[in-house]
Structure 1
Amino acid sequence: MKKSRGIITLILVLGILAGLCYYSATIISSTGVGEDRSINLGLDLAGGVSITYQVVGDKPTDEQLDDTVYKLQKRVEGYSTEAQVYKVGDDRISVEIPGVSDANKILEELGKPGTLEFQTEDGKTFMDGSAVAQAKAATITNDTGNKENIVELTLTDEGAKTFAEVTSANVGKALPIVYDDEVISYPTVQQAITGGTAQISGMANYEEAESLASQIRIGSLSLKLEEMRSEVVGAQLGEEAISSSLKAAAIGLVIVMIFMIVQYLVPGVVAAFALAIYTTLVIATLYLFEITLTLPGIAGIILSIGMAVDANVIIFARIREEIADGKSVATAIETGFARARSAILDGNITTLIAAAVLGLRGSGTVKGFASTLAIGIILSMFTCMVVTKVLMHAVYAIGVRDAKFYGKAKERKPFDFVGKTGIFIAISCAIIVCGCVGVGMHKSSDGTILNYSLEFKGGTSTAVVMDKQYSIKEIDKEIVPLVEKITGDGNVQAQAVEGTKQIIIKTRTLSLEERTKLEKTMTKNFGVDKKDITSESISSTVSNEMKTDAIVAVVIATICMLLYIWFRFKDVRFAGSAVIALSHDVIMVFICYVLAWISVGNTFIACMLTIIGYSINNTIVIFDRIRDALKKHHAQTKAAYKEIVNKSIAQTMSRSVNTSITTFVMVLVLYIMGVTSIREFALPLMVGLLAGTYSSICLASEIWYLLRTKGMKKE
């Protein structure tokens, strides 16, 4: 690159950065205010519409309610992955959808859950809505080559069997679809349908097809529901949650940039610019793709800023090594990027695989977390492989060519990590055993070892008509602390019902004594009339099916990640040792949750997934060095393998330490400045970061060595 071109490139990059900063600033300043250009916020940060449905008819069973809650959850995810559905009492279901303020519009679009029936021409019902697994609108090209709007039905196994029998006996006849005693479609059977899927054609347009699909989906609920009430509710958390998180992000970002500049000189300055571009791109992408942002999402983005430094650290370490080997700066830059590419791609692709599986298989907040994770990974790879590379070449082109400006790789005498494997394993086992003993002794009054939050075990919802309308800030400052004293729980959720004096307080399940104490507190401190206070039990917002979805998604994601490692490294022992290292990290974080009595909610899943992604990324960087060494040296003895492993760990030590420091700093600032919910997310993350760094350096590669050299001669 010529000098003139380098100058133009730098000016263009600075111009793009300035534009992105301005664009991101307008998004951040509008978020939470209600302007057009703002990020969608979740229920915890912005509130939304709350709709309560009453079951029609006899009292439902728990199984019927649970089934209906799960199906409604799937339905409302079309509005937001952060929407919540839960049971209220024995015969009601509440739906809360963030980011909207028109309850009537949502009610109209969501539809009134009713009874769906499939009938024969003579009016005999042969199948109800429970036989429909999915219904969606689509546009296809028919046999004549014309576009046609249809509704695609996917049936359950039992439904497919029944549908096959009935359609076989009614070819050429109509099978009306009836919703609440009204015929909504009158399709004619063209042929026997035996595959468990069917198509309803004849729609005038796509909107008509979508409307029919929506009615079928909502009609497939296990129970008939009717609207009991709808209202617009305020945020569950105070304004301090957003402001403190943004301040933490800004401070952490500045600290990380300063660290990179001090540590890596000119490349550090380049990394600072790339990091600024990365941060603004994340903000812009969240807005453009209408990703719903929650408090855990903010924490996840701040964490991703720390992790985004990782790729740059890998590249700069490679460049320094090339310079130390006598290469010119220009050659070192080109070779450094080329040699770092495999570690960066492998580390990020494994985590991207996890995000894809979680997005496809997960539900609720797991889907939201997967979206944020995928955005962070893709943008991180783009900024390091494209933006950083362009800037490095431009800086070199304008005349910054002296090797002293790029730093020098420190010659590290390999420490005998492999020789200390027994000690490392003993340390981990001792910590785990002590932790397990502590876990066994640490139980709640109901016998559980985990402090499950409202999302996982439900609780009590108390509605109070206050003496005036309270703002979010007033609720957070005046009411929540009093409730926390009664419950001893730092995760009280309180929100105002807009346009009224009513507030809703959600807590863990309260005893009769605690409910009475809460009533006395509200009447004494706020002059509330006792008759204006009502309490009722609410179920968890994470149903058993959603828990199963999350567990299955995590298991599949982990298996896919390990299969990728096996494929890329051509050795199943790499995958096996990675499994052991990951298990070590997950156990450490689990122990932290128990002993620190941290609330286990949706952030628990996000925390565990973040640690798995971080740890596997750390481990792959070292594995990549081992793979490179094995290509150059065909080791035949234990001593040769031992030397390769020790040298690979030493070569990546600065990268492992520096990445851990930058990521830890971001989370530490978040912990210091964040609200209670943020701190309860940040603390186990810090434990996981330390455990992940330790396992990557002291366990993963050493275990691979033991597996690889089993039965091999020493010399």
Structure 2
Amino acid sequence: MAQGFAQWGNDLYTGRKSYQIVGNRRRFYIVAIVMVLLSFGVLLTKGFNLGIDFRGGSEFVVSNVSDTSQQPAIDAVSEVAPAEVPRVTTVGGSAIRVQTDRLTADEVTEVRDALAGAYDVTENDVTTAFIGPSWGKDVSQKAITGLIVFLALVGVVMTIYFRNWRMAAAALIALFHDLIITVGIYAAIGWEVTPATVIGFLTILGYSIYDTVVVFDKVRENTAGILDQTRSTYAERANLAVNQTLVRSINTSVVALLPVSAILFIGAFLLGAGTLRDIALALFVGMAVGAYSSIFLATPLEVSLREREPAIKEHTQKVLDKRAALVAEAAEGTGGASRDAQLAAAGVQATGQLQPGSHQGVKAQPRRKRGH
């Protein structure tokens, strides 16, 4: 199994096997657009389930309870404030968290006593806290500021590093895609948005841009001097770069998702760790979506932008014209054989790509020897 996977990776790297990711980019664009629109639809119709850290209110935590049923907490709050609809969650295996809107000092005392009686614990086992909405507003503003600064720095650094603003633009669009879909899925599930959730949202951006930069680095390597040859187009060499980094992207994503999955499904659902659940869901969805965008979205977007350049457009047409001439010559030499046979004789696959071993767009670059 491992040997077969390794052989598959080697075939992708050398070009003996290739998937038309860039060539089928319109399909991936449609998938991305549909997912982004659905995410926007969820945000507009359902919205976020903001936690107490963002909306403010009173919070009670009942510890050392033998029964973690939520109904006693709801009844206890209703006795003191009938109009209140509390949010009750289980924390671990022996604690209950109750969140309400802002209560008066007398109401807080009464609810605390009622919760202690409902769960048969002492008053010392019930802790209270009040969180003002200004704190959540400050957190939101800082998160938005951090996001804007991050995106600006990504655009500047990538433009300088790759000496190409189109790669920076494609990476930023992919980041926007990852963030919107992650936020939309989080909103659809309906879990509370906490500071841990915001941290998760910001963390996935770093992961996504890291994977995209690796792919773009290979694209730059494969397309160096692209205008000096007529064997392959820019899109084909970029597609080869995606294939060459496909195994690495898959391995990195799987390794990154395994511990996050453990936190999400074991730590959150089995152990009831609410804070871990919030950040783990954002990370899990964001990493999965980021892996998709780095493979199927970022490079195709960059190719679409580059093909608008007059030089690249002219070069692509020159390569296609040369292939058409080769096919015509092959047709004359094969005496009107089938189209596939004509393409094979000309060294061109039916997909329009050059066959491996004939005039394939680019061969695997020899590994540089590292000094010791």
Higher relative contact order by CA 8 Å / sep ≥ 6: 1 or 2? Answer: 2
Contact 2:212 2:298 in 1 (8 A): yes
Contact 1:483-1:492 at 8 Å conserved across structures: no
Say yes or no: does 1:460 pair with 2:58. yes
**Is 1:526 aligned with 2:120?**
yes
Q: CA deviation at 1:481?
A: 5.3
User: Deviation of residue 569 (structure 1)?
Assistant: 0.5
Pairs within 5 Å for 1:269-280: none
Give 1:702's aligned residue. Answer: 300
Mapped to 1, the partners of 2:161 and 2:72 lie a distance apart of 54
Please say if residues 493 and 505 of structure 1, whose CA atoms lie closer than 8 Å, have aligned partners that are also in contact. no
Q: Which residue of 2 aligns with 1:688?
A: 286
Q: Which amino acid in structure 2 is aligned with residue 702 of structure 1?
A: P
**CA separation of 1:701 and 1:454: change in aligned 2, threshold 3 A:** same
The question of 1:509 aligning with 2:101 is answered yes
Q: Answer yes or no: is the 8 Å Cα contact 2:59–2:128 preserved in 1.
A: yes
SS in 2 for 1:507: strand
* Aligned mates of 1:527, 1:549 — CA distance in 2: 39
Distance 2:160 2:194 in 1: 35
Aligned to 1:564: 157
State the partner residue of 2:201.
608
* Structure with the largest fraction of helix: 2
Q: Distance in 2 between matches of 1:664 and 1:677?
A: 18
**Whole-angstrom CA distance in 2 between matches of 1:683 and 1:491:** 17
Q: Give runs of aligned pairs for residues 37-116 of structure 1, distance below 5 A.
A: none
Equivalences for residues 407-426 of structure 1 within 5 A = 412-426=16-30
- Deviation digits for residues 45-96 of structure 1 (CA, Å, limit 9, x no counterpart): xxxxxxxxxxxxxxxxxxxxxxxxxxxxxxxxxxxxxxxxxxxxxxxxxxxx
Contact residue 57 and residue 101 of structure 2 kept, 8 A: yes
Where in structure 2 are the equivalents of 1:119-134 lying within 5 Å?
none
Deviation at 1:567, TM superposition (A): 0.8
Which one of 419, 422, 427 corresponds to residue 31 of structure 2? 427
Give the 5 Å matches for 1:129-140.
none
Q: TM-score, normalised by structure 1?
A: 0.36
Post-superposition CA distance 1:477-519 (Å, at most 9, x none): 65685677663443769999xxxxxxx966242789x987875
Cα offset, 1:694, TM superposition: 1.0
Q: How does 1:467-486 map to 2 (within 5 A)?
A: 474=64, 478=67
Match of 1:490 among 89, 111, 118: 89
The structure whose residues are more often strand, as a share, is 1
Is the CA contact 1:421–1:698 (under 8 Å) kept in the aligned structure 2? yes
AA partner of residue 507 (structure 1) = Q
Map Cα deviations across residues 581-608 of structure 1 (whole Å, 9 max, x no partner). Answer: 0000000111012101121111122111
- Judge conservation of contact 1:491–1:507 (CA < 8 Å) in 2: no
> What CA distance in whole angstroms lies between the structure 2 residues aligned with 1:607 and 1:534?
27
Instruction: Give SS of 1:688's match.
Output: helix
Mark the CA change 1:436 to 1:553 in structure 2 (over 3 Å): closer, same or farther: closer
The answer on whether the counterparts of 1:493 and 1:507 sit within 8 Å (CA) in structure 2 is: no
Q: Distance in 2 between matches of 1:492 and 1:459?
A: 18
The separation in 2 between residues aligned to 1:608 and 1:585, in whole angstroms, is 9
Q: CA deviation at 1:547?
A: 3.2
Contact 2:53 2:131 in 1 (8 A): no
Matched residue type, 1:666: P
Match of 1:686, as an amino acid? Answer: F
Give distance in 2, aligned partners of 1:658 and 1:484: 46
Deviations along 1:597-645, whole A, 9 cap, x unmatched?
A: 1211111221112110111011111101111112254368896111111
1:539 is aligned to: 132
C-alpha change, 1:677 and 1:508, in structure 2 (3 Å) is farther
SS at match of 1:542: helix
Cα RMSD (Å)? 4.0
Q: Which residue in 2 is equivalent to 1:171?
A: none
Q: Say if 1:484 and 1:492, in contact at 8 Å, map to a contact too.
A: no
What's the % identity of the aligned pairs? Answer: 25
Q: Distance in 2 between matches of 1:635 and 1:708?
A: 16
Counterparts in 2 of 1:494 and 1:552: CA distance versus 1, 3 Å: farther
Q: Which amino acid aligns with 1:683?
A: L
Q: What corresponds to 1:591 in structure 2?
A: 184
Where do 5+ consecutive residues of structure 2 fail to align? Answer: 76-85, 268-272, 318-372
CA distance in 1 between partners of 2:223 and 2:97 (Å): 61
Matched residue type, 2:101: T
Change (3 A) 1:410 1:599: farther
CA shift for structure 1 position 543:
4.7
The residue type equivalent to 1:419 in the other structure is G
* Contact in 1 for aligned 2:19/2:243 (Cα 8 Å): yes
1:661–1:492 CA distance, 2 compared to 1 (3 A): closer
CA offset at residue 649 of structure 1? 0.5
Structure 1 residue 526: deviation in Å?
Answer: 1.6
Q: What are the residue-to-residue correspondences of 1:270-669 with 2, within 5 Å?
A: 412-442=16-46, 449-462=47-60, 474=64, 478=67, 487-490=86-89, 507-509=99-101, 520-526=114-120, 537-540=130-133, 542-634=135-227, 640-669=233-262
Alignment-derived partner of residue 134 in structure 1: none
Query: Secondary structure, in 3 states, of the residue corresponding to 2:58?
Result: strand
Q: Distance in 2 between matches of 1:490 and 1:635?
A: 64
Residues 20-53 of structure 1: CA deviation (Å, up to 9, x unaligned): xxxxxxxxxxxxxxxxxxxxxxxxxxxxxxxxxx
In structure 2, the partner of 1:227 is none
- Is the Cα–Cα contact under 8 Å of residues 13 and 245 in structure 2 kept in the other structure? no
* TM superposition shift of 1:461: 3.6
Partner of 1:366: none
Count of residue pairs the alignment pairs up: 294
Q: Following the alignment from structure 1 to structure 2, what is the Cα–Cα distance between the partners of residues 410 and 518?
A: 68
1:552 alignment partner, SS class = helix
Query: What TM-score do you get using the length of structure 2 for normalisation?
Result: 0.66
Residue pair 1:611, 1:688 contacting (<8 A) in 2 also: yes
C-alpha contact 1:450 1:597 (8 A) present in aligned 2:
yes
Q: Counterpart of 1:673? A: 266
Rounded Cα–Cα distance in structure 2 between residues aligned with 1:617 and 1:703: 17
Deviation at 1:708, TM superposition (A): 0.8
Cα deviation for residue 682 of structure 1 reads 1.6
CA apart distance, 1:692:
0.5
Report Cα offsets for 1:539-595 as digits up to 9, x if no partner.
Answer: 148353443233222211221122111111010111000010000000011101210
Q: CA deviation at 1:648?
A: 0.4
Contact 1:451–1:597 (8 Å) recurs in 2: yes
User: C-alpha separation between the residues in 2 aligned to 1:505 and 1:690?
Assistant: 31
